[in-house]
A and B are shown apart, each in its own frame.
Chain A
Amino acid sequence: MNVSYKWLNEYVDLSGLSPEEIAERMTRGGIEIDRVESRNQGVTGVVVGYVKSKEKHPDADKLNVCKVDVGTDEELQIVCGAANVDSGQHVPVAVVGAKLPGGMNIKRAKLRGVESQGMICSAKELGLPDKLLPREQQEGILVLPADLKLGTPITEVLGLEDAILELDLTPNRSDCLSMLGAAYEVAALTGLDVKLPESRIIDTAEQASDYVSVAIEAEEQCHHYSARYIKGVKIAPSPLWLQNRLVAAGVRPINNIVDITNYVMLEYGQPLHAFDADLVSGGRIVVRMAHDGEILQTLDDQERKLDSSMLVITDGEQPIALAGVMGGASSEVSADTVNILLESARFDGGTVRKTSRQLGLRSESSARFEKGVDPERVLLALDRAAGLMAQLAGGLVAEGVVQAGEVGAEPAVVSVALAKINRYLGTTLSGLEVKTIFGRLGFAFEVAADDVFEVSVPTRRGDITRDVDLIEEVARLYGYDNIPTTPIEGASTPGSLTVPQAIRRELRKRLTNAGLHEAISYSFTSPAQTDLFPDLAEQVRPVRLAMPMSEDRSVLRTSLLPQLLEIAAYNRNRKNDNVTVFEIGSVFHTDEETLTRLPHEKHRLAGLLTGSRRQSQWNVKAEAVDFYDAKGLLEEIFRLLGVQNSIRYEAAAPTHYHPGRTAAVLLETGRGYERIGFVGQLHPEQQRDLDLQDTYLFELELGQLYDAADAAIVYKALPRFPASGRDIAVVVDRTVQAGALTAAIAETAGELLESVEVFDIYTGEKLGAEKKSVALSLIYRHSERTLTDEEVTELHGKVVAQLEESFGAELRK
């Protein structure tokens, strides 16, 4: 809502208060003023002039030489290029020394040899916004009404010495979608009085009911419909003062009748509609729901296909307007219109909102109905507009209002106790202070026992329905700044993270210490991306948005990896080939075609490593990352969470991973070993497509890890007896996994084996292509005594024998 400071002054005496002061007070009072803009965009020295004569320029076809009277003794000679300039016109004249918006300075000049002492201006040159100009003013010079005094500053004529306050209204304060609403607000903030506009209707012999009938067939959607009949209007442009106010409010003047409906809408916040009464068959108004498939051509010349959820105004047969949204073309007021059927109604906000959304058609009218209009103003606005039509368009207002439905303008009574106000706000307001505040708001009230205020809330403030709404009014007028600052009373509570939150923080800490950067990517992705890594979820059906912004962001991610790949590619394109990143975030799975319940939302941890492990330096060579870097990170994480002994890795070949360099990660839970993720290399074909070097990935479900994580550190006594170490190297088939060897060793050696570690893998010609040598370091220890050499030798012998038996291992000497 754009509020003209000058116009506002009609309802509240603003003398002594600048537009900026009003803006500051309104903003601090809860109506945010986005900006205060001067209507004058830089016009000085432009006055009303009279074109006494016009002659063709001797040397230019398109130019005219005009003699212009601007109310001074001197007659000005002005060369003008506008096609519509003519003798006998009143026009804006920028005299020598004038300034125009955009920094143009008017000087004495010669145009094709003819002297010009100024410039005749168009509306655009005066800084009026193009889209608000009536059609006839969009081209050529601005032709002014003939009754203006010559020499009058144009800024006065066009009302440019004004400021516009741009209100950024919250949905609850739709009462301020009107000049009167803004006036009440300013009055409450300043303690001034509101002066209401007058409606003058001169009685006539004609009866409106002889011309108009009204029936409502959809009572839930149309609460009240009122109409008046205005006879014999003369369609013409509105007087300048009215046009100026419309333009100031950002509404384009059309003709006097339409302008009056818009003017009164801006003044009262009550949308009105004027029908050409002779085009409404039989003067019948029937308000009903549209039929499915019914067609209505709206004022913007669009064909609208209606359905049964939409409310329409009909003539008993055909729809002639989309209730509360827009009128129909068939009954539009035109230059030939003589008689007016004027509508003022209260439609259901939800219905208007739905219709307007469904058709993508929003109007000043729908914006007001959606948020609810003041029931009391339906008839006030009707009378005000009818009166203006008589006054400004020469119409005769027929006697009486034809109406149906309920006015419904009973003020609500809301009670609030002084004690509750103070308890709620933490204030110590007195009854007198609260009385003053309600008085300034214009709320009538009575004070009952125990300082309970029984407030009759005016119908214009439909947002106030409960005691807390009144408390807010008290708070904002008292000033939020004046409310004290207190600590919460009562026992203090210990704050804490939940276990999953604490785990995620530890993971972040550990992984960033290991050199990885944390990424955050979008949860929305393309359907193709969700197909890339399907193996970690049993029921991958991506969740699709109903109305995505683009196909690229149309579904919820099912894995974190595709976006990590995008990040790698993004950085590679910026000359950074070494990318080590991780992300902790949710993925979304469902097994339903159409959701009837929330999808499975799973926290995951994913990582990507590509390029070098670290930047090469003068003394450090770049080394490419490999599978074991990625796996090492997982091992570290599992140690961190205390679950390292419940984890197993198995060779696996999930989609789009390298089949020979990928492991499934299994976690032992109460239900046995469950697969919680994969670690491996991106499939070489994928790497080629994305133009990436060898890239290693991991992705883990965090849910099971949250459950399994063991935060309790239990101290284990340091060994008191010496260990006995034995190293062996065995030659086995290349396909034998080291994990199988160590598992077999652990199994055979039993409790006396403290640890077994692979310390070397050797392949070479000497062994043959199908063989490898695995060197293992075994440590034996007894916690209660020193093991004898014989004991160790015997046990170790069993271990070696087992390896020979199970794996055909040959002991390397």
Chain B
Amino acid sequence: MKERLEALRTEALEALQQVTDPGALNELRIKYLGKKGGLTEILRGMGGLSAEERPVIGQVGNEVRGAIEAAIDELQERFQREETESRLRAETIDVTLPGKAPLSGAVHPLNKVAQELEDVFIGMGYTIAEGPEVEEDYYNFEALNLPKNHPARDMQDSFYITDEILMRTHTSPVQVRTMKQMNGKPVKVICPGKVYRRDDDDATHSFQFNQIEGLVIDKNIRMSDLKGTLLQFVQQMFGQQAQIRLRPSFFPFTEPSAEVDVTCVQCQGHGCRMCKQTGWLEILGCGMVHPRVLEMGGYDPEEVSGFAFGMGVERIALLKYGIDDIRHFYANDLRFLNQFARM
């Protein structure tokens, strides 16, 4: 019996050496180790052995089983390894091909800039007010110290609908509406929105454009506060190195009034084509709220004072992105819009 076992071992190990695929391996396992396999077959004859022989043969049987099993396991592992390797080989792809682009659109650059401007002011404690784009002459002009036939009305050529109703020429009427609504209480708002002025369209002019204006009214608001506010704003918008420069100017609704230049964003003030070698770019107008405007808004100019400022969103966007023609904003060419689909 021992010889039969040894012979089985030799036969099995030899057979296993010839195996090349997992299916054949499994067949051999059944053939030698299965319930009806060769080993079981031989060991079934153990019943006829003596009590002394039985443990000896049993041990041999176990050794044979162990040896065959070990050989099978080894093969099995090898097959698995090979299978994995071949699978990896088969699954190899060209990683340099482009990935699937997720859908992505873009917020319009004018709104992108407007939102950025709004956020800066929100961070400075401003709320946002809005008003109608079709306005009454009263809110657009008269309550802003621009009575009918005032020569300063020429500064803003308007689209009238009737004698008393027009397309707003600035977002200042929202300031007037805000003052009336606040009813004498302090004001700190910005007013973004579309405005309309009769203007021949060219690379720097558009009859429709966007403005953001600000208004602050409280006790003891000073012109130095206006300067401080604007400096804080431009540094947040254009970087800490940005400085401002005020030049006296005229707006009917402010006194004193000023135009504000900011350090050129392109050359940082050294002088370049964009700033016409001056180092400065004009970006906004501002001033102390005219006492007439305060009075008409329901405030006592002896009690409170205020400042106001305003800027064109297109102008800031042109500067910020280096866009050469304002008309791009309204053509809505996807090749243009798509350039703003990023941080």
Chain A contact residues, CB within 8 Å of chain B: 27-30, 32, 170-174, 349-350, 353-354, 370-371, 423-427, 466, 468-469, 471-472, 475-476, 480-481, 483-490, 492-498, 500-501, 505, 508-509, 511-524, 543-549, 553, 556, 567, 570-571, 574, 576, 579-581, 585-586, 588, 594-596, 598-599, 601, 613-615, 617-620
A424-B288, A520-B329 given; A617·B101 CB < 8 A:
yes
At the interface, yes or no: B332 with Cβ under 8 Å from chain A?
yes
Distance between B152 CB and nearest chain A CB, rounded to angstroms: 4
B223 touches A483 (CB 8 A): yes
Q: Is B58 an interface residue (CB 8 A)?
A: no
CB distance from A500 to the nearest CB of B (A): 8
A439 to B123 alpha-carbon distance, docked (Å):
44
Q: Which residue of B lies closest to A603 (CB)?
A: B130
Contacts of B223 in A (CB 8 A): 424-426, 475, 483
Among B126, B128, B136, B208, the residue within 8 A (CB) of A524 is B208
Contact with B165, one of A353, A490, A497, A598 (Cβ below 8 angstroms): A598
In whole Å, how far is A533's beta carbon from the nearest beta carbon of chain B? 19
CA distance A546 to B158 in the complex (A): 10
Is B17 engaged at the interface, CB distance under 8 Å to the other chain?
no
Name the prevailing secondary structure of the B interface residues: mixed
**What are the residues of chain B within 8 A of A494 when measuring CB–CB?**
125
A547 to B290, CA, bound (A): 31
Residues of chain A within 8 A (CB-CB) of B291 are 466, 468
Determine the chain A residues whose CB is within 8 A of the CB of B111 once the complex forms.
508, 518, 520
Q: Nearest CB to that of A567 among chain B residues? A: B332
Q: Is the CB of B334 within 8 A of A517?
A: yes
Q: Which residues of A contact B149 (CB under 8 A)?
A: 349-350, 353-354
Selected from A172, A501, A508, the residue in CB contact (under 8 A) with B128 is A501
* Residue pair A517, B330 in contact (C-beta under 8 Å): no
* A581 adjacent to B332 (CB under 8 Å): yes
1/0 contact string of B267-295 vs chain A (CB within 8 Å): 00000000000000000000010110000
In B39-63, the 8 Å CB interface with A consists of none
Asked if B108 contacts A519 (CB within 8 A), the reply is yes
A487 touches B225 (CB 8 A): yes
A515 contacts B103, CB within 8 Å? Answer: yes
Interchain CB contact under 8 A, A601 and B132: yes
Q: How many A-B residue pairs have CB under 8 A?
A: 247
Does B188 belong to the interface (CB within 8 Å)? yes
A518 & B290 in contact (Cβ 8 Å cutoff): no
Cross-chain contact A493 with B188 (CB below 8 angstroms):
yes
B162 touches A594 (CB 8 A): yes
Q: Which residues of A contact B334 (CB under 8 A)?
A: 517, 571, 576, 579, 581
Is B154 an interface residue when CB atoms closer than 8 A count as contact?
yes
- The CA of A492 and the CA of B228, in the complex, are separated in Å by 15
Q: Which of B122, B231, B232, B333 contacts A497 (CB 8 A)?
A: B122
CA distance in complex: A492, B127 (Å): 12
Residue among B122, B150, B161, B335 with the highest chain A CB neighbour number at 10 A? B161
A133 to B147, CA, bound (A): 40
Q: Which residues of the partner chain A approach B160 to less than 8 Å between Cβ atoms?
A: 545-547
Assembled-state Cα–Cα distance A497/B130 (Å)? 11
Q: Is B207 an interface residue (CB 8 A)?
A: yes
Partner of B218, one of A472, A490, A594: A490
B256 touches A471 (CB 8 A): yes
Q: In the docked arrangement, what's the CA distance between A10 and B213, Å?
A: 44
Q: Is the CB of B198 within 8 A of A549?
A: yes
**What CA separation (Å) do A489 and B218 show in the bound complex?**
10
In the complex, which residues of chain A have a beta carbon less than 8 angstroms from the beta carbon of B196?
523-524
Query: Are A484 and B224 CB-contacts (below 8 A) given A492-B125, A620-B100?
Result: yes
Q: Which residue of B lies closest to A490 (CB)?
A: B218
Closest A residue to B337 by CB, please name it.
A517
Complex contact A586–B152 (CB within 8 A): no
A512: which of B106, B208, B224 is its contact (CB, 8 Å)?
B106
Nearest Cβ distance between residue B175 and chain A, in whole angstroms?
16
Tell me whether B337 and A480 are in contact (CB under 8 A): no
Chain A residues whose C-beta falls within 8 Å of the C-beta of B218 in the assembled complex? 488, 490
- Which residues of the other chain, A, contact B208 by a CB distance below 8 angstroms? 522-524
Query: Is residue B220 contacting chain A, with contact meaning CB distance below 8 A?
Result: yes
Listed by A's residue number, 16 A-B pairs whose Cβ atoms lie within 8 Å are: A30-B250, A353-B151, A472-B255, A485-B228, A486-B227, A487-B225, A487-B228, A490-B220, A495-B125, A500-B130, A517-B338, A520-B111, A545-B167, A570-B332, A598-B134, A619-B100
Which of B5-13, B75-83, B84-92, B241-249 contacts the other chain? B241-249
Instruction: Report the minimum CB–CB distance from B162 to chain A (whole Å).
Output: 5
Q: Encode B314-342 as 1/0 by CB contact (under 8 A) with A.
A: 00000000000000011111110110010
State whether A488 and B115 are in contact (beta carbons under 8 Å apart), knowing that A425-B224, A516-B105, A520-B332 are contacts in the complex. no
For A496, what are the chain B residues with a Cβ–Cβ distance below 8 Å? 122, 127-128
Bound complex: CA of A615 vs CA of B253, how far in Å?
Answer: 52
| Complex contact B332–A574 (CB within 8 A) | no
A556, B134: Cβ atoms closer than 8 Å? yes
Report the Cα distance A350→B115, complex, angstroms: 42
- The answer to the question of B98 belonging to the interface, with a C-beta cut-off of 8 Å to chain A, is yes
Chain A residue numbers with a CB within 8 Å of B152 are: 171-172
Q: Is the CB of A521 within 8 A of B222?
A: no
Q: How far is the CB of B43 from chain A (nearest CB, A)?
A: 51
B-side contacts of A520, CB under 8 Å? 108, 110-111, 329-330, 332
In the bound assembly, the distance between CA atoms of A544 and B162 in angstroms comes to 9
